[in-house]
Structure formats: C-alpha cells, structure tokens
Chain A
Amino acid sequence: MTPALIAEIREKRYARARGARPHMALTGLSLQVAAGEFVALVGPSGCGKTTFLNIVAGLDTDFSGEVQLALRPDGRPARVGYVFQEPRLLPWRTVYDNIALVLPPHHPDGIVEGMLRAVGLAKARDLYPPQLSVGMSRRVAIARAFAIEPDLLLMDEPFVSLDHDTVEQLRELLLTLWHARPTTVLFVTHDMREALVLADRLVLLSGTPGRVVADVPVGLARNRRQSGAEIELLRDEILRRHRELIGAAARTTPVE
C-alpha cells in the first residue's frame, strides 16, 4: 500500500535581510506516513515543525525537495485538513458559516450540524468567534478540519496554552473523532507526553535546522495510556535512549 504521505525535504531556508546569511529551517527531513496512521512530530520550539506542516499543506512552495500525497480512491488529489496553532476562525462569520465555508458550495444539508454535534457545540452554531471561549474556538477549528473528510489532517500544536482540564477534554475529543472518522494525522507538538498519549508513532526532530533524529513506534494500546505512570515510563525510556542523540545532533549540525 502506498503511504499517505511521503516527504523528502532536502533544504528549506528563509531569506534574511540583505547581507545576512539565510536562516536554515530544515535540512534532510524525510518522513513517510502510512494511511490511517497517527504520527506525532516532536521537537523543541523553533525547530521548523510549523514550516514543515506548511510545506506539506502546500502553503509554502519555496523549498528544495518533494512532497507526495497519495491520491484519493477516486483519483482526485488528497484533501488536507489543517488545525492551525491559533484557531484562525473568521471573526466576522458565525460558527456555522466558518465550517460551511470550507465545504463545497452545494454540500448536503446537515454536515455542519453533524460536525457541531460531534464536538458538542450544536448550540453555538449562530455565535461569532469572539463570543466563544478559547476551548470552544479550538473545537470549531477541529470540527472545520474534520468536516471536509480529510485524507490527511495536519495539526500544529492545537492544544497549546490551554488549561490542563481543557487540554484533556480536547485530546479525548480528538481521539473520539479520529476513531469515528479515520484519517491520517500529522500532529506537531513540543510535548512528548501529549505525543505519547495520542500517536501511533513519534518522530523526534532535532533543534534548528530541523531533521529527524529518531522514529519511535508507541507500542502501548491507547486504552492503557490514560494512566500517567505508563506514559512517564515510556517517556523516560525514550529520553534515555535518545537524549544523547538529540544533544549530539544539535552539536554536530554543520555550521555554515
């Protein structure tokens, strides 16, 4: 079976102000994700994770390398859903219209309502985003991404800067949605615990410029990950095995 995503980023650099050396964001980042797999991309902040997602989403085409998304069964290009770090809801459109906007103009009735029910916001359909709490806004953003029935779902630290309880609820919601609407997920986070709770596989990235340091499958069944102790054990083991690696990679990064 062809992977849902094959990405080979040879190099991604950002031009700087005149005269200064360009900033190297990614070097030699290669990644394959199987269809239906939930992969977490874990790395320190500023290591180019968002840059990588934007490249995969097709928003950034100024890089050297290749990104391939598997075609849909009907031969059409893959649909990509994106949950950005900030919800990026249009404040001047209602919750309903924000979701309806990403659907085809003549979509069947009930898709938006169904999505809103699934994220527990059926009653918020006519509110404007400035009236929502932070947690509700994230739910709408997640609903919007799932509404298009994505073949690939990109998530860029969607639960960052939320309180602990809200994060727990949203993670649970995400897994519920994902089980009901299976899709390939590429989830970016700097929080290894979060990655271990959610993902099938962890891809560890080094600091700037970002590149893959380790690729770790999570063997633990999801229903056993609720206990914090199991997660801590896994995390300790990964850190023990890869701390030197992460440190070494950071040190041996060629300086231009």
Chain B
Amino acid sequence: MATTAQRASSWVAASSLTQRIGSFALFIAVWQITADAVHSRLLPSASAVFMALEQESVNGPLLYQVGITLARVAAAFVIAMVVGTAIGIVMGRSKTVDALFDSWLVLLLNLPALVIIVLAYVWFGLTEAAAIGAVAVNKIPYTAVTLREGARALDRNYSDMAACFHVGRWRTLRHVILPQLYPYTFAAARSGLALVWKIVLIVELLGRSNGVGFEIQLYFQQFDVTRILAYSIAFMVVIQVIEWAIFQPLERHAGRWRP
C-alpha cells in the first residue's frame, strides 16, 4: 500500500508541471471552441483577448495601469500584514486584550468590503489614502485571526529556554518567536494577496481615476468584454508571478531546516 502511494505521489510530483500546462491548454481550447460556436461580442475568443492584451500593452495604457494597481496592492498588503500581525500576536498572547477586542474582530470580519470602501470614501474623501486604507482594513482582521492562532500555539518550552539564558527581547522575537509564526504568516500572506488585489479593483472602480479597476469600469460602460478580460488576465499573471517568484522561494528558505 505504502509503496503504491509513494509511487503515485512521486508520479504526481514529476508530472505536475506538465499536468498544469495540459489543464491550462484544455481550458483555453474549451474557451476558444465555445466562443467560436457562440460567436457573440459578449464572449470574445481566447485569441481575440490575447490580441487585445498585446495591443493594450504595446500601444495602450495596460502596463501603466497594472503598475498603478500593483503599487496599491503592495501598499495595502504591507499595511494589512504588519498591523494584522501585531494585533494577532498581542491578542494571542494576552487573554485580556483578546477578551476585549475579539468581538471587534468578528464585527470587522462580517462587515462587507463594499461597506468599508464606501464609508472610507465618504469619511475621508476620494483620496489615495482612503482607498489604500479601506483595502487594508478589509484584510487586517483576517491576518489578525490567523496570527492569533499562531501566537496561541507558541511553544512555551522555547520561550523558557530563551528567558533562562537571557537571550533578550529583540533576539527572542527574531530567533524564537517569529520562526514559529512563519507558517501562519505565509498562510495569511497567500490568502491576503488574493483578497487584497480583488478589493483594490473595486476601490479603483468606485473612486480612482486610474488602475486596472478604473479601466474595467471604462470598458464595462462600453460592454467591451474583450478588454475587460485582457486587463484581468494581465493582472492574474502578475499575481501568479509574485507567488512563484517571491512567496514560494521565501517559504522554501524559511523551511530549509525541515528534513
């Protein structure tokens, strides 16, 4: 049984890239065939979308708009991760703070993203700070909840060791506490990136005059599905590249000690 399972899993690992590419190609093929059959401008074919993608990058503002959106995503993401992590650790370590603010977290978690965005624009105006702040506030409770779990699971034995040997606060945090939280940080960062970029598009659609979300709103008014898809695909690729080029290497580095 075990050897069969091992063989199966190694087969999956070896061919996962091929499988992924195959699955992706299948999706494009189904899309292309369906679009050709339907033959409507509301369902453009894959080839039309990729042509629009190329056109918009070379002659249009696509790269610039993707850059603008990416900057907003980065700002909101960093704020949400730093603030959410700090809140999560404090709530995980202190029962009093947890008891005081747990309901606030629940409240924030249940507040629809749209409401937070609208309120931010109403209270703070149609500004960049309001836009980024609204996105960050959407993500902060998720980060806090994940990191709170991590802080609760901290191994007392390691902290005792550090205390007994007078390792010091800062070095204890860096070498003893944070490495235990890395798996939780990565989980929060992954889901965070996915959430943040989607909310950034809404924020742009509602109150910004540039970015991918703004472009999508323009083409929505023109019913230009081809360009809506072109912009979405461009940004999906960017997010996937971030996952491959940043998150996965970082995670491998943080887990290098695992046998």
Given A90-B176, A91-B257, A93-B175, check contact A82 B157 (CB 8 Å): no
Q: A84-B157, A93-B175, A101-B175 are in contact. Are A130 and B165 (CB under 8 A)?
A: no
User: Is the beta-carbon distance between B175 and A59 smaller than 8 angstroms?
Assistant: no
**With contacts defined as CB atoms under 8 Å apart, how many contacts are there between chain A and chain B in the complex?**
51
Total count of chain B residues near the partner, CB < 8 A:
20
Interface members, chain A 109-129 (any B CB < 8 Å): 128-129
Closest to A89 in B: B161
A185 to chain B, nearest CB (A): 15
Q: B167 near A: Cβ within 8 Å?
A: yes
Q: In the bound complex, how far is the Cα of B167 from the Cα of A88, in angstroms?
A: 14
Residue of B nearest to A91 (CB): B257
B252 within 8 A of A: no
Kindly state the separation between the CA atoms of A102 and B175 in the bound complex, as whole angstroms. Answer: 11
Per-position 1/0 for B142-160, Cβ under 8 A of A? 0000000000000001101
> B164 to A57, Cβ gap below 8 A?
yes
Instruction: Establish whether residues A105 and B171, one from each chain, have CB atoms under 8 Å apart when the complex forms.
Output: yes
- State whether B158 touches A92 (Cβ < 8 A): no
- Cβ < 8 Å to B, chain A residues 132-154: 144, 148
Which residue of chain B has the shortest Cβ distance to A60 in the bound complex?
B160
Residues of B within 8 A of A88 (CB): 157-158, 161
A102 touches B165 (CB 8 A): yes
Decide: A90 near B179, CB < 8 A? Known: A59-B160, A80-B164, A82-B164: yes
Best-buried of A88, A93, A101 by chain B (most CB within 10 Å): A101
- Min CB distance A28 to B, Å, is 25
Contact between chains at B164 and A101 (CB < 8 Å): no
Interface class of chain B by DSSP: helix
For B176, list chain A residues within 8 Å (CB). 90
Contacts of B175 in A (CB 8 A): 90, 93, 97, 101
Asked whether, in the complex, the Cβ of B257 is within 8 Å of the Cβ of A102, the reply is: no
> Is A131 engaged at the interface, CB distance under 8 Å to the other chain?
yes
Q: B259 in the interface, Cβ–Cβ < 8 Å?
A: yes
| Residue B173 CB within 8 A of the other chain | no
Cβ–Cβ contact B161 & A130, under 8 A: no
Q: Contacts A90-B179, A92-B257: A101 and B167 contacting too (C-beta < 8 A)?
A: yes
One of B158, B164, B167, B259 near A130 (C-beta < 8 A): B259
Contacts A86-B157, A102-B165, A105-B171 known; list 6 others, CB within 8 Å.
A59-B160, A90-B158, A90-B176, A93-B175, A101-B175, A130-B258
19 sample A-B contacts, Cβ–Cβ < 8 Å, listed by A number: A58-B163, A59-B163, A79-B166, A80-B164, A82-B161, A88-B157, A90-B158, A90-B175, A91-B257, A92-B179, A92-B257, A93-B179, A97-B175, A101-B171, A101-B175, A102-B166, A128-B256, A130-B257, A131-B259
Q: B interface vs A, CB < 8 Å?
A: 157-158, 160-168, 171, 175-176, 179, 254, 256-259
The 5 closest A-B pairs by CB, nearest first: A102-B165, A128-B257, A92-B179, A130-B259, A92-B257
